[in-house]
Structure 1
Amino acid sequence: LKIISPISMHFALLTNLGVTLLLSLILAVTSLAERVTFSEIHYAPKDDKPEYIEVFNNSGSAVDFACWEFSNGIGYKFPDFSASSPQQTFMCAFERVLVTNVDEQTFRANYTVPGDVKIFGPYAGSLSNAGEALELRDKNGVMVCRVRYNDRGKWPVAADGAGHSLRLINKYLSCSKFDNWAASASPGGTPGAAPAGSEGQRFSNPSVDLASSFPIVSIGDEWKYNDSG
């Protein structure tokens, strides 16, 4: 019979607790938000309005995004640093910039965008209406943020041709998590601006015209996802 001393038992318990805490910390870190993240994606706008992707500096310090590039999804490379316009490729703390498939003048003619918001484009190609992976890398090729959005499963159906954008729910969690996205509260989304209310709030029952494309849902029912979700 092997007798285990109280000291040995205490050490074993502390070791197991340490391993558990370490694993919990690793799992928590993988779900934390990126420093720079995708915060809004409008992949299937109505009435031939432009597409757009909103990139958000989710930190309290400026970020140099000169020569950053989309490596999957659309084709676009941000401009190089220019001494004549040094602020053009810097994002201030908590600043949002937009990347779109049209020029800035056309984009502003279609959406209400704050005057100081930087708009880049047009990008090559278009956002897939069936979903795809979007990847943004820095000038050294290091992944900055990535999301694979979809029009199936538990992704918001209102963003699939009903005029709403995909909006990041909680900026403190990773944009790669499907359950961290919701349909914008109103058609067109809020390009370049934070949504009304808390950024951690999930929108439900957005006012959309689904009659032409989807079954009718009674008022008061909550239907965020398509039939396969």
Structure 2
Amino acid sequence: MKKYFLFLLTAIHSINFTEAQSLHDVIITEINYNSDSTVNSGNWIEIYNSTSNSINLVDWFVKNNNNDFYTIGPGVSLGAHSYLVLAENIFEFSSIFPSVTNVNGPMNFGFSNNNDNIRLYSSNSMLISSVAYADSGQWPKGADGNGRTLELLNYNGDQNDPLNWFDGCMFGSPGVAYTPCNPEIVFSEINYKSAPTMDAGDWVELYNVSQSAINLNQWSLKDGEDTDIYYLPNITLQPGDYRVLCQDIGKFVSRHATVGNINGPFGFGFSHKGEPIRLFDANGKLTFSVVYDNKSPWATTPDSGGYTLELSNIHGHMDDGTNWFAGCLEGSPGEVYDPNCGGNSAETISENVIHFNILNSLSSDFVVAEISGIKNYSSTQLSVYDLTGRKILSVPVSNSKTEINISALVDGIYFASLKADAIFLSEKFLKQ
């Protein structure tokens, strides 16, 4: 009888809720502080229980910088390693996310579009989590009215470090862990400031990532200003197809006479200092956005240096400069990126002569990049691409011979591409 009684007490104890014991037991993992007006889910935050126990959230409360506060009511708990959304307006939130049921509110107050300090307290007024975000500096810009949200990168990192946040998928991922985005259509290449001697006007390339045809009739392109708008004609983008939208058809054709899958002119231009580029569907709802920049970590040669911004990973962070690279001289509009850049040689674009070869090694798991003529190895980029133009890996370069580990690659043809001193060279190799 005594053993049974002890077992019963243990079982009862195991299902009791616990109180948060310390800072970061529950953390703020996602913030929507400024929705796009066409897809408005209201302001909301996502919180996550980082412990292995359920936590009773009754009488916990949230504050903003104005000391507006919302107190969580009775019967609310947060399971171990689970998420909960706290929404400003339940109706607005559910209109965009009808399948998300782990939501609580309404808070009846929002967060600043400029900067705010969001704080989460336990029932005994212990500060559990706080984030002081902004729409300037190093904070991601896609969350400021451009359809994306702030997503926490490292749950164990500094919540107030802007580099520990990224703007995730369109409209966010409330109530669940972040997973890589699966957009249907993306901006795959951007030319925002041509070199003076290679002026094709501004242009942007669309790419249909999906498995279905997309009719673009009355879809619209905008930059950072709602008054700058271009309506697309009745065209259908087949799966895997590209379409270039041009600011000035005449200028574009003068530089890319063989590219026929183009539309325009859209009349307005893109800022060389960086800005949002947005795509809206025929119902006027935001579908996709990118906020580019002309400063590191974004490539700088597309800013009047003759190159374009090329998207590296269609499932990656769209507003992260490291997910874009300076492609070929004058770009590759209307087609898949070619690491060989149509066979352009270093001598045609620079007085510097750089030699680049890929050599087989004694092991099939490695190839060797042999490079000569480099002035500064620290600024040299060496990457491997597959035949679709997808970047597979990057390798640091420190001397004239660099070994590339290709053991993880499946058998096939690849390109090793070298970017050095504003020169882009590529060599094909076979993994077998």
User: Which SS does the other structure have where 1:37 is aligned?
Assistant: strand
Which of 190, 193, 215 is 1:41 aligned to? Answer: 190
User: Which SS does the other structure have where 2:80 is aligned?
Assistant: helix
1:124 corresponds to: 267
CA gap 1:6/1:179 in 2 versus in 1, 3 angstroms = farther
> Taking every aligned residue pair, what percent have the same amino acid on both sides?
23
Which of 214, 232, 247 is 1:63 aligned to? Answer: 214
Contact 2:292 2:321 in 1 (8 A): yes
Contact 1:169 1:181 in 2 (8 A): yes
CA gap 1:19/1:125 in 2 versus in 1, 3 angstroms = closer
2:236 corresponds to: 90
User: Which SS does the other structure have where 2:275 is aligned?
Assistant: strand
User: Which SS does the other structure have where 2:190 is aligned?
Assistant: strand
Contact 2:200 2:248 in 1 (8 A): no
Q: How big is the shift at 1:17?
A: 4.0
Structure with more contact order per residue of length (Cα contacts < 8 Å, sep ≥ 6): 1
Deviations 1:77-133 (A, max 9, x none): 112x4xxxxxxx111001110001122x65233126454x2x111112211111111
Q: How big is the shift at 1:220?
A: 2.5
Q: How big is the shift at 1:152?
A: 1.8
Amino acid at match of 1:94: G
1:146 corresponds to: 289
Amino acid at match of 2:208: N
Answer yes or no: is 1:77 the counterpart of 2:231: yes
Distance 1:196 1:6 in 2: 64
Amino acid at match of 1:221: S
2:377 corresponds to: 220
Q: How big is the shift at 1:196?
A: 2.3
Q: How big is the shift at 1:218?
A: 2.7
Amino acid at match of 2:275: E
**Aligned pairs (5 A) from 1:1-229:** 3-5=9-11, 8=14, 15-19=79-83, 25-28=176-179, 31-46=180-195, 47=197, 48-73=199-224, 74-79=228-233, 81=234, 89-103=235-249, 106-111=251-256, 113-115=258-260, 117=261, 119-184=262-327, 186-196=328-338, 218-222=375-379
User: Which SS does the other structure have where 1:157 is aligned?
Assistant: coil
CA gap 1:141/1:4 in 2 versus in 1, 3 angstroms = farther
Larger radius of gyration: 2
Distance 1:52 1:178 in 2: 19
CA gap 1:7/1:129 in 2 versus in 1, 3 angstroms = same
Distance 1:24 1:180 in 2: 26
Distance 2:248 2:293 in 1: 23
User: Which SS does the other structure have where 1:134 is aligned?
Assistant: strand
Q: How many aligned positions are there?
A: 196
Going by fraction, where is helix more abundant, 1 or 2? 1
Q: How big is the shift at 1:23?
A: 7.6
CA gap 1:173/1:113 in 2 versus in 1, 3 angstroms = farther
Q: How big is the shift at 1:222?
A: 2.0
Going by fraction, where is strand more abundant, 1 or 2? 2
Distance 1:112 1:174 in 2: 33
Q: How big is the shift at 1:158?
A: 1.3
Structure 2 residue runs of 5 or longer lacking an equivalent are 1-5, 18-51, 55-78, 85-172, 340-347, 353-373, 382-432
2:165 corresponds to: none
Distance 1:69 1:109 in 2: 25
CA gap 1:175/1:144 in 2 versus in 1, 3 angstroms = same
Distance 2:323 2:182 in 1: 10
CA gap 1:208/1:161 in 2 versus in 1, 3 angstroms = farther
Contact 1:36 1:58 in 2 (8 A): yes
CA gap 1:17/1:7 in 2 versus in 1, 3 angstroms = farther
When normalised by structure 2's length, the TM-score is 0.40
CA gap 1:114/1:101 in 2 versus in 1, 3 angstroms = closer
Structure 1 residue runs of 5 or longer lacking an equivalent are 82-88, 198-206, 212-216, 225-229
